[in-house]
């Protein structure tokens, strides 16, 4: 069921009336309640997660919205919407609606609390372990599997998994220890958000280059060729275009390069690709990255891509439409994992 249908069903259910929903070009929905005498109208927006941050981002991006619809809205999200005098409905049947000839307030059950800040410990090894787990989670997560992908001892892997258990991201299955003992990933989205938040608290050293070409796909191909033997991986918009296309034209190229390479070593390669090296701005951004981040790159027609969780985190770092592209990427990768 697409978001148009979910908006329609959620509002129709709480009002017990037929509604007409028409998608708009800006990603919102024009909604009219045709089953009521005065047929009140709303500009509706669907959000996938009903936390205050998502509500605030959506409202800031779409100031014409008068109705937010979500699977479930937290207590903080509901309070934020009430303070801004924005109508809301969620799929639990809760609602607060005001319109022409309409006043509805329904509380079907206590609103869920807002998520508490994660207390997870994100060492460099734990970051690698989580990235591997999120990128391609095995059916059974074992200490041996974590040790291989994170490059650590079995004891260290065990401590990492214990921490994830405490966060509620993983759960033990099978015998308590020994052969057959393993975990399953129960809440990958919560792990992904905590992992992303940790990565994005640290600034990235960036180098820039510029091109006058409007064809960034061609520029990307030239860069992939000249970087050749360098450890690198496409991220941001360029990687999203391969994994979960979201824009019709690439606005900027983002590429992560191994931090072992100095600027003086890469600058000649950029010039060979027909680019102008700049100091502080450009349509090509090179992000210096620890070498171990490239262990999970995957091939693509446009060159190697960093792992999809890292692409997600990088899109979130960009903000604005990057946030929407990140959400789309997560939805696509989630559906492919089943």
- Please report the DSSP string for 244-255 in residue order: S---SS-S-EEE
Residue 57 has pLDDT above 80, yes or no: no
Spell out where the chain has E strands.
20-23, 29-32, 41-46, 67-70, 87-90, 95-99, 102-106, 170-173, 182-185, 206-210, 232-235, 253-258, 276-278, 284-289
Instruction: Assess contact for 137 and 188: CB atoms under 8 A.
Output: yes
What's the pLDDT band for 338 if we cut at 50, 70, 90?
Answer: low
* Beta carbons within 8 Å of 195's beta carbon, 6+ residues apart: 122, 127, 130, 131, 134, 309, 313
Identify the band that residue 102 occupies on the pLDDT scale cut at 50, 70 and 90: confident
Query: Counting Cβ atoms within 10 Å, is residue 198 exposed (0-12), middle (13-18) or buried (19+)?
Result: middle
Please report the pLDDT score of residue 115 as a whole number.
56
C-alpha span between 154 and 160 (Å, rounded): 10
Q: Specify the pLDDT at position 60.
A: 79
Give the dihedral sign, CA 316/318/322/324.
positive
Residue 201: other Cβ atoms inside 10 A: 8
Distance between CA atoms of residues 35 and 110, nearest Å: 29
pLDDT exceeds cutoff 80 at 101? yes
pLDDT at 1 over 70: no
In sequence order, which residues have a C-beta less than 8 Å from that of residue 103 and are 6 or more positions away? 97
Residue 337 has pLDDT above 70, yes or no: no
Residue 258's φ and ψ, nearest 5 degrees, are: -60, 130
When pLDDT is cut at 50, 70 and 90, the band that residue 28 belongs to is confident
DSSP 71: S
**Closest C-alpha among 148, 142, 193 to residue 170:** 142
Q: What percent of the chain has pLDDT over 90?
A: 57
Lowest mean pLDDT among 126-135, 178-187, 304-313: 178-187
- Between 112 and 253, where is the model more confident? 253
Q: Residue 336 above 80 pLDDT?
A: no
Using 50, 70 and 90 to split pLDDT, how confident is the model at 82?
very high
Domain with CATH 1.10.10.10 in the chain: 124-199
Output the pLDDT for position 48. Answer: 78
pLDDT in tens, 179-231: 667 889 988 888 898 899 889 888 889 999 999 998 999 999 999 999 999 99
Report the relative pairing of strands 284-289 and 20-23 from DSSP bridges: unpaired
Contact 289, 235 (CB under 8 A): no
What's the CA gap between 65 and 47, in Å, rounded?
Answer: 12
Domain boundaries for CATH 3.40.1350 within the chain: 3-106
pLDDT at 148 over 70: yes
Architecture of the domain made up of 3-106: 3-Layer(aba) Sandwich (3.40)
Distance CA 269, CA 260 (A): 15
Of residues 61 and 128, which shows the higher confidence score? 128
| CA distance linking residue 149 with residue 17, whole number of Å | 54
Residue 229, number of CB atoms within 10 A of its CB: 5
CA atoms within 13 A on the CB side of 64: 11
Rounded to an integer, the average pLDDT of 115-133 is 81
Task: Flag whether pLDDT at 53 surpasses 60.
Answer: yes
As a residue count, the chain comes to: 338
- Considering the domain delimited by 124-199, tell me its CATH architecture: Orthogonal Bundle (1.10)
Q: Which residue has the higher pLDDT, 195 or 102?
A: 195
Q: Compute the average pLDDT of residues 84-104.
A: 91
Please tell me which residue, 80 or 310, carries the higher pLDDT value: 310
The mean per-residue pLDDT over the stretch 26-46 comes to: 89
Distance between CA atoms of residues 86 and 146, nearest Å: 46
Q: Which pLDDT value is given to residue 112? A: 67
pTM, full prediction? 0.67
Question: Above 70 in pLDDT, residue 145?
Answer: yes
Beta strands 41-46 and 67-70 are parallel
* Assigned token pair, 67: 């109705």
Residue 190 has what pLDDT? 84
Q: Of 84, 83, 73, give the one whose Cα is nearest residue 114.
A: 73
What's the rounded mean pLDDT across residues 77-99? 92
> In this predicted model, which residue has the larger pLDDT, 49 or 42?
42
CA atoms within 13 Å, Cβ hemisphere of 125: 16
Measure the CA–CA gap between 251 and 255, rounded to whole angstroms: 13
DSSP string, 163-222: HHHHHTSEEEESSSSSTT-EEEES-HHHHHHHHHHHHTTS---EEEEE---S-HHHHHHH
């Amino acid at each position: 069921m697409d978001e148009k249908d979910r908006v329609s069903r959620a509002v129709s259910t709480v009002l017990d009336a037929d509604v007409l929903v028409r998608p708009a070009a800006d990603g919102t929905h024009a909604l009219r309640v045709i089953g009521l005498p005065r047929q009140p109208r709303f500009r509706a927006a669907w959000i996938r997660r009903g936390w205050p941050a998502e509500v605030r981002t959506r409202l800031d991006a779409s100031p014409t919205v008068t109705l937010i619809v979500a699977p479930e809205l937290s207590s903080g999200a509901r309070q934020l919407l009430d303070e801004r005098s924005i109508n809301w409905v969620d799929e639990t049947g809760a609602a607060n609606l005001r319109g022409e000839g309409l006043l509805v307030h329904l509380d079907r059950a206590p609103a869920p609390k807002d998520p508490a800040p994660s207390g997870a410990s994100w060492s460099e090894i734990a970051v690698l372990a989580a990235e591997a787990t999120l990128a391609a989670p095995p059916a059974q997560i074992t200490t041996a599997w974590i040790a291989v992908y994170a490059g650590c001892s079995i004891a260290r892997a065990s401590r990492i998994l214990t921490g994830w258990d405490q966060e509620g991201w993983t759960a033990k299955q099978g015998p308590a220890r020994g052969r057959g003992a393993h975990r399953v990933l129960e809440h990958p989205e919560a792990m992904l958000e905590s992992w992303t938040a940790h990565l994005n608290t640290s600034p990235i050293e960036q180098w820039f280059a510029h091109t006058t070409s409007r064809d960034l796909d061609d520029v990307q191909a030239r860069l992939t060729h000249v970087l050749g033997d360098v450890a690198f991986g496409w991220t941001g918009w360029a990687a999203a275009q391969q994994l979960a296309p979201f824009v019709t034209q690439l606005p900027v190229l983002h590429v992560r390069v191994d931090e072992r390479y100095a600027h003086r070593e890469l600058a000649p390669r950029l010039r060979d690709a027909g680019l102008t090296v700049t100091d502080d701005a450009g349509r090509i951004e090179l992000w210096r990255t620890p070498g171990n981040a490239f262990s999970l790159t995957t091939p693509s027609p446009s060159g190697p891509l960093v792992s999809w969780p890292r692409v997600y985190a990088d899109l979130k770092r960009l903000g604005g439409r990057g946030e929407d592209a990140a959400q789309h990427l997560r939805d696509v990768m989630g559906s492919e994992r089943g």
